[in-house]
Amino acid sequence: MAGDRRVIFNADDFGLDAAVNAAVASAHRQGVLNSASLMVSAAAAAEAIRLARSMPNLGVGLHLTLVDGYPVLPASQVPDLLDENGRFSSDLWRRGFRYFFISRVRRQLAAEISAQYAAFADTGLRLDHVNAHKHLHAHPTVLNLLIEIGQRFALRAVRIPREPVGLARQLAPVSGAAALGAHLLLPWVGRMRRVIRSQGLFCNDLLLGLQSTGQMDAERVRRALATAPVGQVTELYFHPAQEQTAHLRQLMPGYRPVAELQALCDPELTAYLRAQGIHTGNYDDFARS
């Protein structure tokens, strides 16, 4: 398969909302979705776990949530990670600095990451992959803990958020500020890949849709598939939902989750994949091959 195009269709935020869970089930059963990343501490996680158990071919991974969510551990055990409302602080720059330099914060971070791995293990689901909400595992401290702790939980694959600007622009226009951010991220992503592979773990080569987050409609999916290089593993990632609930609109006001679900269930997409000889699977499928 080294000379083939290999694609993972993944849905993030599994467990965030009942509408997301319904979309994941529909996109897997009726469409091309073969992977989903579970938020174990989210409000609809229990329902997501029940659905995942009924879909044995869906590769379910852990979507570590360390920003814009609630911890698995009691707030009293991770006070330095949380804001005044008991949620993970959204100030990523300040928190990243504290991860580097304050050992007390690192201990709490390690404890929460361990608790989220353990919560996933308690589901009985096979761990297909691990990534982090808002790609926070690009931070070296988070990545190192993700890998170190993950060794105890049969970690095999980690996502890297690598989308070169030139490829992103083939899906849709990219603003100057977004392009600058992508360029600044590249050295971190390169380090991520080296660290992950040095530990004998599998990772994707590309993540297409990063600059089109929440906007992966049928046209952008088709452009992404045409862009996916031969001989590499490309993840296309989505945030589908059966409807844009008030909860989802508050969290992601600019996203188009219903359009993403429609793209994943488009019957023409299945025919296109077959005609183009594109191999699809989850992380475990490609790690074993």
pLDDT tens for 154-206 read 999 999 999 988 888 999 888 887 777 777 777 888 899 999 999 999 999 99
d(CA 115, CA 40): 10
With a cut of 80, say whether residue 209 has pLDDT above it.
yes
- H/E stretch holding 208: strand 206-208
Full residue range of the structural domain in which residue 65 is found: 6-288
For residue 1, being part of any structural domain is answered with no
- Of all residues in the chain, the percent with pLDDT exceeding 70 is 98
CA-to-CA dists, residue 26 to 15, 54, 93, 120, angstroms: 14, 12, 37, 22
Strand-pair partners of 59: 35
With a cut of 80, say whether residue 91 has pLDDT above it.
no
3-class DSSP assignment, residue 11: strand
For residue 20, being part of any structural domain is answered with yes
pLDDT digits (tens, 9 = 90+) for 8-54: 999 999 999 999 999 999 999 999 999 999 999 999 999 999 999 99
- H/E stretch holding 197: helix 176-198
The pLDDT value recorded for residue 28 is 98
Count CA within 13 A, CB hemisphere, residue 40.
27
Total domains present in the chain: 1
Maximum CA extent, the chain: 55
Nearest to 7 by CA among 204, 186, 165: 204
Strand-pair partners of 118: none
For residue 276, being part of any structural domain is answered with yes
The pair phi, psi for residue 24, each rounded to 5°, is: -60, -45
For residue 193, being part of any structural domain is answered with yes
d(CA 86, CA 65): 14
For residue 228, being part of any structural domain is answered with yes
For residue 202, being part of any structural domain is answered with yes
The pLDDT value recorded for residue 100 is 81
CATH number for the domain spanning 206: value is 3.20.20.370
Tokens for 213?
């987050």
For residue 116, being part of any structural domain is answered with yes
Tokens for 34?
């073969």
| Local confidence band at 1 (pLDDT 50, 70, 90 cut-offs) | low
pLDDT digits (tens, 9 = 90+) for 217-246: 999 999 999 999 999 999 999 999 999 999
| Local confidence band at 279 (pLDDT 50, 70, 90 cut-offs) | very high
